[in-house]
Chain A
Amino acid sequence: MGDKKFAIIATKGTLDWAYPPFILGSTAAALGYEVSIFFTFYGLNLLKKKLDLKVTSLGNPAMPMPMPIPVMVQILPGMQAMMTSMMKAKMKAKGVASIEELRDLCVEAEVRMIACQMTVDLFEYSTSEFIDGIEYGGAATFLEFAGDADITMYM
């Protein structure tokens, strides 16, 4: 493994927040870092076998949109699904990797992926819902690695 260590805590489960941990993790691994990502709370979404990540501009005023849409319209049924597909289409058109692809690259690069056991219990997830090759651990597991890490990030 590499000389430098990089610890990431992934706490969010939407499409836009899925990119930073997997991009940073895979790129750092490519650069020779030893990477560990701890997925907790909504971050567990990123470890599901069947990814169903969504994104919405609701509560996200920074999201660029082709035309301004009033918040009262953003709340309407179907809007979230539409915004999610538009975002995915845009990413595909621009040659941005999908989350599945980035996650596979992380697995291949032997990025250590740890699922927060407490969150798994809290939301009553079953381990069969998650991809293979992940570990289950708690805060102490993460801190053991992070204590030695050169870079630690919370996202």
Chain B
Amino acid sequence: MSQYDSELDASGLNCPLPILKAKKALAALQSGQVLRVIATDPGSVKDFEAFAKQTGNELVEHQEEGGKFIFLIKKA
């Protein structure tokens, strides 16, 4: 598992909360820092891909771990 600077647990939250909370958490980071997001919403996989594409923040990696989705997003 790669390094991360901040973690956001969005478990139990459904669209659009994981994205909205991630955006807020990313705003608090410096450029180049990585946010780790944990989500349980299956829709969040596509959402985070779209989010990365639209905002230019890199989706460094994403994986599924025991029913939870983990995303590592690097701030542009």
Contacts and interface: CB of A to CB of B under 8 A. Distances in A.
For chain B, which range describes its interface: under 10, 10 to 19, 20 to 34, or 35 or more residues? 10 to 19
A147 interface: no
A121 to B, nearest CB: 33
Interface of A: 23, 26-27, 30-32, 94-97, 101-102, 105, 108-109
B19 A95 contact: no
B28 interface: no
A1 to B, nearest CB: 13
Contact of A95 (B12, B20, B51, B55): B12
B12 A31 contact: no
Contact of A32 (B17, B22, B54): B54
Instruction: Say what secondary structure dominates the interface of chain B.
Output: helix
B51 A31 contact: yes
Contacts of A108: 24
B32 interface: no
Given A27-B19, A105-B20, A32 B55 contact: yes
Nearest to B26: A30
B20 A94 contact: no
